[in-house]
């Protein structure tokens, strides 16, 4: 799976046929993620952008990992100015 692309199960849940899913997967394999929704799949409420991201960070001290942080964040474009909301986070030392 390429970063930022829906799995076949997600495409199935969105109503794509087996043939359409196969075509999408093959196209991704050959050319990478779609920059926009292909014309033949238009009008199905599909998009190519995500608003939810996983961020992983490490704090390194003296060439050793001293702490790790993982966060799930979501872009909010429905507010002015746009912002980011932390949905979940965890950290370890």
What is the arithmetic mean of pLDDT over 5-10? 82
Pairing of strands 52-61, 83-92: unpaired
d(CA 32, CA 60): 33
CB-facing half-sphere around the CA of 68: CA atoms within 13 A: 5
What is the model's pLDDT at position 2? 40
Say whether pLDDT at 7 is over 70. Answer: yes
Q: What is the pTM (predicted TM-score) of this model?
A: 0.49
pLDDT tens-digit map of 50-87: 778 889 999 999 999 999 999 999 888 888 888 899 99
């Amino acid at each position: 799976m390429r970063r930022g692309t829906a799995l076949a199960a997600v495409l199935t849940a969105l109503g794509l046929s087996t043939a359409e899913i196969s075509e999408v997967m093959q196209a991704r394999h050959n050319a990478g993620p779609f920059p926009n929704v292909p014309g033949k799949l238009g009008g199905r409420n599909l998009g190519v952008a995500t608003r939810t991201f996983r961020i992983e960070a490490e704090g390194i001290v003296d060439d050793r990992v001293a702490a790790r942080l993982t966060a799930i964040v979501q872009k909010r474009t429905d507010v002015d100015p746009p912002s980011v909301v932390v949905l979940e986070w965890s950290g370890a030392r």
